């Protein structure tokens, strides 16, 4: 026997289940605390997906109990339930699921998560996973005890029977596994559920911790997120291999029809244009295209401009709910949000949303908190390896009033950043779904989203500093200046000086300053109007006199009234400039009332009454 | 009999002079208040303009041979909360000095003034350095000295020992004493107002200002003052105004050369600079306090090499201070440039006490005689 033949005897297929049994870190079960988090996350993701599909407001109950040397994890939802025949395969067969083939946004994709938890359960505690599911009030609930046959990747059903269950519908899973329960940091069951609650404000999540403490993350909204629909692939960035596959297996008989029906965003005109560019007959049978022709078509795809993929394949959280979610879990002074338009990488539509919370009780001296989400699922591990973190590090935050001690990297300040990527296919760096890969198109979109909220933050902060300055000036004027004036009059034994003119200067007000002198039995009146603001001020100044005045300079309009005369001047004074008015009036029996300004706000005028 | 008449006349003249000074101080403080008051009337944002008290703004006055403030000015105005509060505090302080001190002929120490401000509400001082600085500001604005406002520092224990007889006007009458025969081992304690002293006679050939108490005691124990007819002044670290004033008076009134003996580190050079050139913080008083002819005796960086002294490493702060001295106009002389650069190369510093490593008499028998003859003083 030849060596190759000898070797061939030992070659055999490896079951996926066996593979993951030996490589559990790939699925996120590499440490005891992490196993619990991953298990809860997978079960909660499934529940949320199922509820959304069924149009039900999710109400998910999670309990973690100590059970001997193991932890018991219970997850119960009010979802649509699973038909009895499917239960074993959904929970105890890897790579079994309904979402892998659909181009639609959902949390789960590959059908691995929950079965991996079942696998981990049987590996560590040796116990089967118990599932109860009920699909309607009139149906019985089905109870199953399941293991996975790892050699075959097939479910092994230990028990399957109908039972009574008080819920109208829903699913309950109980797993018993090796683990360790931690709290008080983000990488914990508590932290992960808190993050989940932020981006799923339509869900109520209840957590009962091992010590019996109960935490409820309440809903912030009663409306379900918009349902995401399945779409056809988008032509932008599709790979050649994928195109060849589609051409070969299509049932369409004409290239023109194939292009129009297979891809989203391509109509009759674009299809014709593509054929022209590639030099292909629109009526040709798609499967007849050889490699060379497919390559020309692929090049043509890159040359034409097609519109963005339809948004309805994606389900963004939306600005309002991002705001509600952040408000719900943090106490903040300011929130800015940004939702980017749909964009495409390698034929997959995606969309980036960013929320920024500032101030409140956030730590001022430490690095900002980054909450990363992919299809509404929080990412808690491998922050440093994620495209979202890299995009944050790439922004020059100093330009936006946040400090970045080393010039780049995660900035420092009282900020929490929420970044959400929604896509029909999130490019994770590994199957444990901890970090998003550095895809250029995605990095660009995150960067734009970050800069949008950062600009809003900068505007907010500069407005705050203007207010601060105003408050500072108020303090000078109300508290300090009067005291200086009082002390000076004490020291010098003189009358307290009028602080009005100084106030006008400091506040940038319009100052009206009237000086009256008695000359030969007449009052000589001089009025100086100074504009200390940095804007042009236009207004009318009135002097109401009992008798007629003379030597009025500049000339004023006079309206005679029942008990006197209203002299008024129309004035327009540039910033930093002043105007001088004067007149003379008989002194006898004349009492001057305060000058009157018409046409300006009272706060910006000193030394006159404003009407 | 004749002497007592003379004495009475002297006292009368002194008290008239004092009264005049008080009057002048009061007048000038009132002028300051008045100018602020008028600024209100004229609608000018109230402010005070002062020379800026930084290294960049001191310049050499050829006329007086000392360093004084240049033309750079800073303005304190009520445009900011800080400026407004400072002006309010200034006015409070002026009121205290006029009404409590000058009108009632009372006085307070710098520390007491800091505590008095407790009752000034938002005008209260946050630390003593703040009130000290404001008093210096008032000295500059009024061109008077704080003693004229009856403000005195805490006694700092600086002392004089040597062949000198003097007479001090104390609150308990006149005291006459000899600074070797009539004093204890610590010497004659310098009072805060040195202008209450009259030098009667002396037998001295030089004045030696000494930084540390250890070296001062060593020189007294070894009888250096008697052997070389030296007036020893213990300056106790950074010298107080009174210490600098007495050195200045010994130099100018008795015509005695002054040498300064400190540790060999950048901080000690600043002590020398404040005696010989003036301090940045109080350059407005340079003419009153500075002894331009004072010379640096040691420890020089070159002594570290020449006498093979035991040393310590320069710390980062020391190095920084040395480099900063290279840009300080007061140290801009070939002598200092050479010494500072040498020390930057050595990266070492030496204390005065380092001479003890060669025997307790080494400093008085070898180092000081060698240095003093090198300097042409003996």
Distance CA B162, CA B180 (A): 5
pLDDT of residue B273: 92
State how far residue B39 is from chain A, nearest Cα, in angstroms: 8
pLDDT tens, residue by residue, A493-542: 999 998 888 888 888 888 898 888 888 888 899 999 999 888 899 999 99
A515 and chain B in contact, CB less than 8 A: no
pLDDT per residue over A106-144, tens digit each?
666 555 678 888 888 888 888 899 999 998 888 899 999
**In contact, A250 and A258? CB cutoff 8 Å:** yes
| Preferred mutation among B25, B77, B78 to probe A, highest tally of A CBs within 10 A | B78
* B95 — pLDDT class (breaks 50, 70, 90): very high
- d(CA B30, CA B36) in angstroms, rounded, equals 10
Is the CB of A483 inside 8 Å of chain B's CB atoms?
Answer: yes
What distance in Å separates residue B88's CA from the closest CA in chain A? 5
pLDDT for res B139: 92
> Which residue ranges of chain A lie beneath pLDDT 50?
none
Q: Which burial class, exposed, middle or buried, applies to A252 when counting CB atoms under 10 A from its CB (0-12, 13-18, 19+)?
A: middle
Percent of chain B, pLDDT > 70? Answer: 97
Mutate to test the interface with B, among A475, A487, A494 (most CBs of B within 10 A): A487
Once rounded to an integer, what is the mean pLDDT over residues B332-337?
93
Inform me whether the C-beta atom of residue A480 falls under 8 Å from chain B C-beta atoms. yes
- Residue B362 bears catalytic tag: no
Asked whether B256 and B231 are in contact (CB, 8 A), the reply is yes
Q: Is the pTM of this model over 0.80?
A: no
For residue A567, the model assigns a pLDDT of 92
Q: Could you tell me where the DSSP H helices lie in A252-406?
A: 255-262, 268-278, 291-303, 319-329, 387-394
Please give the share of chain A, as a percent, with pLDDT higher than 70: 93
Percent of chain B at pLDDT > 90 equals 63
**For A494, which of B37, B42, B45 is closest by C-beta distance?**
B37
Question: Rounded distance, CA A574 to CA A113, Å?
Answer: 71
Interface contact B33-A485, CB threshold 8 A: no
In chain B, the residue whose alpha carbon lies closest to the alpha carbon of A489 is B37
Chain A residues with CB under 8 Å of B79 CB are 476, 506
Two tokens, residue B94: 């002026």
* Contact yes or no for A311/A332 (Cβ under 8 A): no
Q: Are strands B173-178 and B164-170 parallel, antiparallel or unpaired?
A: antiparallel
Instruction: Flag if B36 and A490 touch (Cβ within 8 Å).
Output: no
Distance CA B300, CA B102 (A): 46
pLDDT the model gives residue A106? 65
Indicate the residue of B30, B84, B99 with minimum beta-carbon distance to A476: B84
pLDDT, position A245: 81
Q: How many CA atoms lie within 13 A of B87 on its CB side?
A: 32
Q: Which residue has the tokens 């006498």?
A: B307
In the 8-state DSSP scheme, what is residue B69?
E
E strand or H helix at B316: helix B316-326
What span, in angstroms and rounded, lies between the C-alpha atoms of A119 and A585? 103
**Residue ranges of the alpha helices (H) in A315-439?**
319-329, 387-394
Q: Which pLDDT does position A292 carry in this prediction?
A: 86
CB contact under 8 Å between B43 and A494, yes or no, is: no
User: What is the predicted pLDDT for the residue at B1?
Assistant: 46
Burial B167-206 (b: 16+ CB within 10 A, else e): ebbeeeeeeeebbbeebeeebbbbbbbbbebeeeebebeb
CA of residue B189 relative to chain centroid, distance:
15
DSSP B78-112: TTSHHHHHHHHHHHHHHHIIIIIIITTT--EEHHH
Given an 8 Å threshold on Cβ–Cβ distance, is B88 in contact with A484? yes
Identify the band that residue B135 occupies on the pLDDT scale cut at 50, 70 and 90.
very high
Distance from CA of B36 to the nearest CA of A (A): 8
Q: Which letter, b or e, does each residue of A176-207 get, where b requires 16 or more Cβ atoms within 10 Å of its Cβ?
A: bbbbebbeeebebbbbbbbbbbbbbbbbbbbb
Is B92 in Cβ contact with A480 (below 8 Å)? no
CB A355 within 8 A of CB A172: no
Which single residue is written with the structure tokens 């004093």? B183
Cα gap A258→A194, rounded to integer Å: 46
Annotated catalytic residue, options B115, B188, B216, B269 = B115
């Amino acid at each position: 026997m030849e060596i190759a033949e000898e070797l061939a005897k030992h070659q055999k297929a490896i079951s996926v289940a066996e593979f993951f049994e030996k490589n559990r870190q790939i699925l996120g079960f590499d440490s005891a605390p992490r196993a619990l988090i991953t298990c809860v996350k997978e079960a909660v993701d499934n529940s949320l997906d199922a509820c959304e599909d069924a149009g039900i407001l999710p109400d998910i109950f999670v309990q973690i109990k100590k059970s001997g040397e193991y932890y018991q994890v219970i997850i119960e939802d009010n979802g649509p339930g699973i038909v009895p025949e499917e239960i074993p395969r959904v929970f105890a067969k890897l790579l079994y699921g309904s979402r892998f083939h659909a181009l639609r946004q959902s949390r789960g994709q590959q059908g691995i998560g929950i079965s991996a938890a079942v696998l981990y359960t049987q590996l560590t505690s040796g116990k089967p996973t118990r599932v109860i599911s009920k699909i309607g009030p009139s149906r019985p609930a089905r109870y199953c005890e399941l293991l996975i046959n790892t050699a075959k990747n097939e479910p092994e059903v230990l028990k399957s029977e109908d039972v009574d269950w008080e819920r109208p519908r829903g699913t309950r899973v109980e797993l018993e596994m090796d683990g360790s329960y931690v709290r008080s940091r983000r990488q914990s069951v508590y932290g992960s559920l808190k993050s989940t609650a932020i981006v799923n404000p339509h869900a109520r999540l209840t957590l009962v911790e091992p010590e019996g403490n109960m935490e409820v993350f309440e809903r912030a909204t009663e409306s379900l997120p918009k349902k995401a629909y399945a779409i056809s692939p988008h032509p932008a960035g599709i790979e050649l291999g994928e195109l060849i596959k589609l051409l070969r297996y299509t049932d369409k008989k004409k290239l023109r029809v194939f292009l129009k029906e297979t891809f989203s965003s391509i109509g009759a005109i674009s299809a014709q244009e593509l054929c022209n560019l590639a030099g292909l007959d629109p009526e040709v049978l798609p499967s007849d295209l050889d490699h060379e022709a497919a390559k020309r078509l692929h090049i043509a795809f890159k040359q034409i401009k097609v519109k963005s993929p339809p948004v309805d394949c994606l389900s963004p959280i939306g600005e309002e709910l991002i705001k509600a979610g952040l408000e719900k879990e943090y106490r903040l002074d300011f929130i800015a949000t940004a939702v980017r338009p749909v964009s495409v990488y390698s034929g997959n539509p995606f969309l980036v949303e960013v929320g920024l919370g500032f101030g409140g009780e956030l730590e001022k001296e430490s690095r900002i908190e980054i909450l990363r989400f992919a299809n509404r699922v929080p990412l808690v591990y491998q922050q440093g390896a994620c495209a979202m973190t890299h995009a944050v590090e790439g922004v020059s935050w100093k330009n936006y009033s946040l400090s970045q001690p080393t010039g780049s990297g995660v900035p420092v300040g009282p900020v929490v950043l929420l970044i959400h990527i929604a896509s029909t296919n999130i490019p994770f760096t590994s199957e444990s779904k901890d970090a998003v890969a550095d895809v250029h198109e995605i990095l660009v979109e995150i960067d734009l989203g970050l800069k949008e909220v950062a600009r809003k933050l900068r505007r907010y902060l500069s407005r705050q500093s203007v207010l601060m300055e105003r408050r500072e000036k108020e303090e000078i004027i109300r508290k300090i200046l009067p005291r200086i004036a009082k002390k000076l009059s004490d020291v010098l034994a003189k009358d307290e000086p009028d602080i009005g003119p100084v106030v006008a200067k400091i506040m940038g007000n319009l100052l009206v300053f009237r000086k009256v002198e008695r000359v030969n039995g007449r009052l000589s009146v001089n009025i100086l109007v100074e504009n200390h603001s940095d804007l042009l001020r236009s207004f009318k100044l009135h002097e109401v006199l009992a008798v007629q005045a003379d030597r009025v300079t500049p000339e004023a309009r006079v309206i005679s009234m029942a008990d006197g005369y209203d002299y008024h001047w129309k004035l327009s004074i540039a910033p930093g400039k002043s105007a001088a008015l004067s007149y003379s009036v008989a002194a006898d029996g004349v009492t001057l009332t305060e000058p009157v300004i018409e046409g300006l706000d009272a706060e910006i005028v000193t030394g006159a009454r404003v009407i | 009999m004749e002497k007592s008449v003379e004495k009475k006349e002297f006292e009368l003249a002194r008290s008239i002079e004092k009264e005049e000074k008080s009057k002048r101080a009061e007048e000038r403080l009132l002028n300051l208040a008045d100018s602020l008051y008028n600024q209100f009337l004229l609608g000018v944002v109230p402010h005070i303009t002062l020379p800026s008290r930084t290294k960049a703004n001191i310049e050499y006055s050829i006329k007086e041979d000392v360093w004084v403030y240049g033309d750079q000015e800073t303005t304190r105005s009520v445009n900011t909360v800080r400026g407004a509060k400072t002006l309010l505090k200034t006015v409070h302080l002026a009121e205290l000095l006029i009404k409590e001190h000058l009108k009632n002929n009372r006085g307070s120490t710098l520390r007491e003034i800091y505590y008095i401000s407790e009752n000034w509400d938002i005008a209260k001082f946050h630390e003593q350095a703040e009130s000290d600085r404001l008093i210096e500001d008032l000295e500059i604005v009024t061109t008077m000295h704080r003693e004229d406002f009856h403000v005195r520092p805490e006694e700092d224990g600086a002392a004089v020992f040597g062949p000198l007889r003097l007479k001090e006007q104390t609150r308990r009458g006149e005291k006459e004493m000899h600074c070797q025969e009539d004093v204890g081992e610590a010497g004659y304690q310098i009072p805060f107002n040195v202008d209450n002293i009259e030098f009667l006679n002396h037998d001295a050939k030089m004045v030696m200002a000494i930084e540390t108490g250890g070296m001062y005691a060593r020189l007294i124990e070894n009888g250096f003052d008697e052997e070389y007819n030296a007036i020893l002044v213990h300056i106790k670290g950074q010298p107080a105004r009174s210490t600098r004033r007495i050195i200045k008076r010994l130099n100018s009134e008795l015509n005695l050369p002054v040498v300064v003996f400190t540790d060999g580190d950048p901080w000690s050079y600043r002590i020398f600079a404040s005696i010989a050139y003036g301090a940045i913080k109080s350059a407005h008083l340079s003419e009153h306090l500075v002894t331009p002819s004072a010379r640096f005796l040691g420890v020089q960086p070159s002594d570290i090499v020449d006498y093979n002294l035991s040393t310590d490493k320069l710390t980062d702060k020391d190095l920084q201070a040395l480099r900063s001295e290279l840009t300080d106009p007061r140290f801009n002389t070939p002598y200092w440039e050479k010494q500072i650069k040498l020390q930057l190369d050595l990266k070492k510093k030496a204390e005065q006490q380092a001479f003890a490593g060669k025997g307790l008499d080494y400093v008085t028998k070898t180092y000081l005689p060698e240095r003093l003859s090198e300097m042409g003083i003996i």
